[in-house]
Amino acid sequence: IYEIDLDDLDMTKETIEKIVKDQGDISYLINNAGININKDIEALSEEDFIRSFNVNVVSPHIIMKKLLPSMKENNFGRIINVTSGAPMNNMSGYAAYSASKAALNSMTITAFREYKDYNIKINLMSPGPVKTEMAPNANKDPSVCLPTARYLLELDEDGPTGKFFWLGYEV
């Protein structure tokens, strides 16, 4: 088990390098960490906004950047970037979260296009309203996400890439 504070970009770089050194090539990645700082724009500090981007998009970029070269060399990789419907809903109080997840979505689609000639599948998955520390009042158990995650990790060479999935459905 490796622990990373994804807001600490240097720690993220050092830890992912250590993981690769210890474990070798990594073919499967689920960027699942996320942070939601629920504040209206006037109350949202620059530090909170930057922290949201560090955790939700910059650290996933750092991790993908480190792992994609070996995936490309091995002509195999599966990446799931966990996102949200928030960038489509843009609810009040969620500016940092919605903006950072929109950036993650854009980065994911760009990455899919850059690696489409390889057997690397890069997709987005939204867990929907699952009960987590971030959403303690949600009504679904996180286990409802397992079939979709398993499906995306087990894609064959002709499987979808650059797509958005929610509870088993391509959106």
Active site residue 169: no
Helix (H) or strand (E) segment spanning residue 48: helix 46-53
Choose the catalytic residue: 2, 28, 94, 97: 97
Spatial separation of the C-alpha atoms in residues 90 and 161, rounded to whole Å = 25
44-50: long-range pairs with CB below 8 Å, 24+: 44/95, 44/96, 48/96, 49/95, 49/96, 49/99
CB–CB of 98/106 below 8 Å? Answer: no
Bridge pairing between strands 28-31 and 169-170: unpaired
C-alpha span between 40 and 100 (Å, rounded) = 15
Instruction: Report helix, strand or coil for 129.
Output: coil
Active site residues: 97
